[in-house]
Amino acid sequence: MEQTADVVNTVVQTGPVTAPQNGFWGMVLYCAVVFGIIYFLMVRPNKKRMAEYQKMLDSLKEGNRVMAAGIYGTIKKINEKTIELEVAKGVVIEVNKNAVASVEE
C-alpha cells in the first residue's frame, strides 16, 4: 500500500507526460520539405511533358500523318483550335488539336 502511495505522489509531483513540442519553425521546415518532394517528383516532370506536347502541337503542318482520338489520318487543314484529317480517300473529319496523340513523320 505504501508503495502505491509513493507512485501516486511521484506522478502528482512530476505532472503529466507530454510529447516534445517542435514549435513553429519545425512545422515550417517539414512543410517545405514535403512541398519540395512533391514539386520535384510530380509538378516539374509534368510541366516538362506538357511543354514537349505543346511543342509537338505547334509543329503540326499539312501533310503530317497523325493519330488523333485513336484515329489515324493525314492533316489537310489546320485551324486555330481544330485540324481537318483525311482518314480515307475523300473522307475528312474535324478533330480538336488537343486530341492529337502522336505525329508520324
pLDDT in tens, 45-89: 999 999 999 999 999 999 999 999 889 999 999 999 999 999 999
Helix ranges, 1-104 (H): 2-14, 23-38, 44-58
Q: 55 near 37, Cβ under 8 Å?
A: no
Phi-psi region of 23 (alpha: psi -120 to 50; beta: other; left: phi over 0): left
Top-tier CATH class for 62-105: mainly beta
Q: Which of 79, 87, 78, 83 is nearest to 96 (CA)?
A: 83
pLDDT in tens, 11-31: 556 656 565 566 888 889 999
**Predicted TM-score (pTM) of this structure:** 0.63
Domain positions in the chain? 22-59, 62-105
Q: 61 near 76, Cβ under 8 Å?
A: no
Angstrom distance (rounded) from CA 58 to CA 94:
18
